[in-house]
Amino acid sequence: MPFFKRFMPILLPMYPVIEEKVKWDVYGEKYRPEDYTVSKLRVHLPVPQEIIKEADDPTANMVVPIADDAPTKCITVIEKIEVSCNVEYIEFEGRSDGESTKKLIAQMKPKQLIIVHGSAQATRHLAQYCYDNNIAQ
């Protein structure tokens, strides 16, 4: 055993709790289904005295249904909303050829595309390329 190893104190954690590290991906924190499951525990609440007195009455007909599942309700609404979008401006200043422009547009995968500043023939050619390859609507 080396000389320094014999005299090193054993380090114990001050608080013996292991903290779980949060995992992230490109979209944010990872989804853990167990955080969103509804527990099956039932809570027993104290019963008011009026209900107990009515239950002792033999003429009372009290049937109280016990629900196994928590009540849920799904609501679907169709609304018209305004969407703010990003506008990408590509300034090539004449330094790019048509093939690199087509590759760049194909990589961006835009939903809509507005082509400005160019000769009518070049604009038509780029628009036809985007239409043929389903790059934009």
In a domain, 19, yes or no: no
Split into its structural domains, the chain has a count of 1
Out of 1-5, 7-11, 25-29, 46-50, the most confident range is 25-29
In a domain, 123, yes or no: yes
Question: Residue 135: which domain range?
Answer: 109-137
* Whether the predicted model's global pTM rises above the 0.75 cut: no
In a domain, 133, yes or no: yes
Percent of the chain with pLDDT over 90: 4
* 110: nearest Cα among 93, 91, 127: 127
In a domain, 92, yes or no: no
List the structure tokens of 3. 């000389």
In a domain, 89, yes or no: no
pLDDT of the residue at 119 = 84
At 79, the pLDDT band (50, 70, 90 cuts) reads: very high
Give the integer Cα–Cα distance in Å for 60 and 73. Answer: 32
Number of Cβ atoms within 10 Å of the Cβ of 105: 20
In a domain, 136, yes or no: yes
What average pLDDT does the chain have?
Answer: 74
93-127 pLDDT, tens digit each: 667 778 888 888 888 888 888 888 788 898 899 88
Strand, helix or coil for residue 25: strand
In a domain, 116, yes or no: yes
